[in-house]
Chains A and B, each alone.
Chain A
Amino acid sequence: MSLLDAKIPAGPLAEKWSKHKFNLKLVNPANKRKYDIIVVGTGLAGASAAASLAELGYNVKAFCFQDSPRRAHSIAAQGGINAAKNYQNDGDSVYRLFYDTIKGGDYRAREGNVYRLAEVSVNIIDQCVAQGVPFAREYGGLLDNRSFGGSQVSRTFYARGQTGQQLLLGAYSALNRQIHLGKVKMYTRSEMLDVVIADGHAKGIVTRNLINGNIDTHTGHAVLLCTGGYGNVFYLSTNAAGSNVTAAWRAHKRGAFFANPCYTQIHPTCIPVTGDHQSKLTLMSESLRNDGRVWAPKTVEIAEQLRKGTIKADQVKEDDRDYFLERKYPSFGNLVPRDVASRNAKEMVDDKRGVGASGFAVFLDFADAIHRLGKDAVAAKYGNLFDMYYQITDEDPYKQPMRIYPAVHYTMGGLWVDYNLSTNIPGLYALGECNFSDHGANRLGASALMQGLADGYFVIPYTLGDYLATIGPKPVDAKHPAFEKTKQDTINLINTLLSMKGTKTVNEYHRDLGHIMWEYCGMARTEEGLTKAKGLIKALREDFWKNAIVVGANEEVNASLEKAGRVADFLELGELMVDDALMRRESCGGHFRLESQTPEGEALRDDDNFAFVAAWEYKGDNQPEVLNKEILDFEFVHLTQRSYK
């Protein structure tokens, strides 16, 4: 075990980033075109980084597995993006956004990173507006804001329920411009399968062309992984079907540390599961909690009647309803942070008071809002969400309350990076959800978009230059044996997968893994459950390599092969998540250990023993991973017990 240096600049919080930017080396403008940069993933972080670096003059090669860079899953973010603009004059500031984010993350994030994030948040909005992103506006023509995800100020900029789409299309348009100018070479339907490490530095990647199966190597002076999160380890999540951990995981197996893998965010307002066929969970914007009231029946008997369908929700008398969030958290009510809302819903279900045919749901009721504001006003605010709910469930939320249940939504963990967004492998960077850096143990609503764009537009263009200036513009040696070796490793893995002609589909293994993860490494975790999960995952993984079926050949479009590689990685990641959750004998944010809670049932941190980032080091197949710690110093904020009472 070693102690990691995050390279946070010294000095007052507000000056760290400015000072650091000054101290970073610059690349001579004439030399920039001599550098090739590989960007993997074209979501908010990837597209913004690729575009910004190309604008500076670097040659960028960008990769995505989808058919177009515009499909990246950032597009699905609904709610909004935070920025400390204080346009509403309601007391917001960079410091407040910083403080809220640190506190929301349950004091498991770095002060320096989070402050920088809050600082550049204001630039993001300017940038997006200049690109033509159609944010919501007031009648006066200026930008509108809303309060979001339990925040006490209105700092969230939004574009109806499609903020992620509009921001991504903005970044995609900037990327397109650079493709048009020849500064970015775009590789679509290309999946990164490995990173090439030559003499200790990341110098390229290995990709598979998803149309013809070609295994190619690409060289670059630096490799930026912007490949998103790993929520799909749970099989059911709000992630896209294609979202996967493969790029990050293969980099991890090449030496990049994986930090805080157990920090997962479970979003409270998703549409509940209907059956085994379900392939994904659909999130409904958190904004629904601004007007919807969450409740469950007070008694098990009423809940049973609701489950059987003998009575309907609107027939439950007011006295028989338990508005549990309002009851337990009078000052925040239905607007408590995501982890708190999720956990409370789970408690209701564990208490046998869940509703819906499966019993895995609580109500989100708009009857009061419709009564108070009128149906039209509610429709104007949430119409598209209500339509979506109706489309999926065939139930009219104007008449009956919605049924909601938490679902995995975001992963705060990811590749360990320092203040420069560099992993511990020189030349290998991780941006956006792919890294672990800014959200601690829980992410606040409307902060994911902010972080992805902050990393891509305003951090990496500065910090990458420092590394590039250090290594110099000498061309990357494509003949270095590491390229051929890594390529051969990839081909071997593919051949192994293709030789698997067992009895169980890859999807079935994925679903089984998801069940294990959700049951034992989900909203509430115990020593016993996690230990059990570890054994189960191990057994499942061994079985996978013996009994999975992969059909088709490499030299063609082969979804079965693509999925097999991804699930193989999830099966390894799952175990690491369990290890991390076992190691962290405290509760914090999205990581809730039943053994560590306050008398009121809130997450109880153990700052003396666990105020650190857990960065795991891969030591070889079937070897236990080694824990490296980065101690979190809190110079500026005082650690307190989070309370939303």
Chain B
Amino acid sequence: MSTNNNMNLTLKVWRQKNAETRGAFVTYKAEGISPDMSFLEMLDVVNESLIHKQDEPIHFDHDCREGICGMCSLYINGHPHGPKNAITTCQLHMRTFHDGETIVIEPWRAAAFPVIKDLAVDRSAFDRIQQAGGFVSVNTGGVPDANEIAIPKVIADEAFNSATCIGCGACVAACKNASAMLFVSAKVTQLGMLPQGQPERYSRVQAMVAQMDAEGFGSCTNTGACEAECPKEIKMTNISRMNNDYFSAKLFREEAMHEHAASGE
């Protein structure tokens, strides 16, 4: 629509064939970019022109394109998910940039998130942390009526705030230590606050933190960069809550970490 406002941009994009090869920045021109495009649509346009030249398109992860699946990433001009707050890259629109601007696009950088290709990284470490304990051990069927558990609204709302995490990894990308504390603590807190999560509260936190450490994430310096960049505005309070649970579990509680895994079947 705003054809007359179309922009010409210079992109400096990280290209890397696969995990084994070294990568480098390659410069591309993105021309005739409408301010109404999303950032990913802008990359689509660049990719279409690359394919027309029989060149390999820039690879990036994306799926839902409405800010909820957590698949898109991209470290844009020094910000995970670009310069705007509380959105993912797919929700970032080109009107945020100005004509002639140079945009530097990098993958998430963390030892625990190795590059798969170009801008896509492997975030399966997050899955493994969740597998270590991010659940309530109930089998299908045989559960009580939903309204048998009354949960104070304030608790339900707080747990919900933690539950909104989309697992994108922006917190790791933003953290100067590549720490995953915000991600891990969001799940630990969600389940730790709710009555359903109580039976495994202290085994869960131990298991998830142990897995987090095993994946090679850094530790938390409470800088707050994670909170500032989280597209879902998850609060650092979660980290403190998790620490509290963790220290209680490790220093004062009877539960060991392995009890968690032994449940089920």
Contact = CB atoms under 8 A, between A and B. Distances in A.
Q: Touch between A and B in complex, CB under 8 Å?
A: yes
A473 B45 CA distance: 52
A645 interface: no
A66 B71 contact: yes
Interface in B51-99: 51-52, 54-57, 59, 61-71, 87, 91, 93, 95
A134 B163 contact: yes
Interface residues of B, number: 80
A551 interface: yes
Nearest to A457: B140
B59 A557 contact: yes
Given A131-B138, A172-B130, A461-B140, A557 B69 contact: no
Interface stretch (A177-185, A289-297, A593-601, A631-639): A177-185
A560 interface: yes
A137 B153 contact: yes
Nearest to A166: B163
Given A70-B70, A85-B146, A141 B153 contact: yes
A556 interface: yes
- Size category of the A interface is 35 or more
B254 interface: no
Interface in A127-167: 127-132, 134-143, 159-160, 162, 164-166
A211 interface: yes
Contacts of A241: 62-65
Contacts, number: 234
Contacts of A505: 48, 51-52
Interface string B147-174: 1011111001001100110110000000
Interface string B19-61: 0000000000000001011101110110010011011110101
Contacts of B51: 505, 507, 549, 551, 560
Contacts of A280: 65-66
B7 interface: no
A129 B19 CA distance: 41
A293 to B, nearest CB: 25
A126 B34 contact: no
Given A67-B122, A141-B153, A551-B54, A174 B140 contact: yes
A372 B34 CA distance: 38
A457 B140 CA distance: 6
Contact of B57 (A66, A131, A388, A551): A551
A445 B198 CA distance: 34
Specify the main secondary structure of chain B where it touches its partner. Answer: loop
Contacts of A560: 51, 56-57
Contacts of A165: 68, 164, 166
Interface string A61-105: 000001111111101100000000101000000000000000000
B1 A177 contact: no
A377 B164 CA distance: 22
A277 B41 contact: yes
Contacts of A282: 65-66
Interface string A550-582: 011000110110000000000000000000000
B146 A67 contact: no
A391 interface: yes
A130 B144 contact: yes
Contacts of A619: none
A67 B143 contact: no
A277 B71 CA distance: 20
A51, A143, A169 — which one has the most chain B CB atoms within 10 A of its CB?
A: A169
A463 interface: no
A180 B131 contact: yes
A526 interface: no
B124 A188 contact: yes
Contacts of A176: 127, 130-131, 134-135
Interface in A236-253: 238, 240-242
A413 B126 CA distance: 35
B81 to A, nearest CB: 12
Leading 3 A-B pairs by shortest Cβ distance: A141-B150, A173-B135, A130-B143
26 contacts: A67-B61, A68-B124, A68-B167, A69-B127, A73-B69, A75-B68, A75-B69, A75-B166, A76-B69, A130-B136, A132-B159, A139-B153, A142-B147, A160-B160, A162-B68, A162-B164, A164-B68, A176-B130, A176-B134, A183-B265, A279-B40, A279-B44, A458-B140, A552-B56, A557-B116, A560-B56
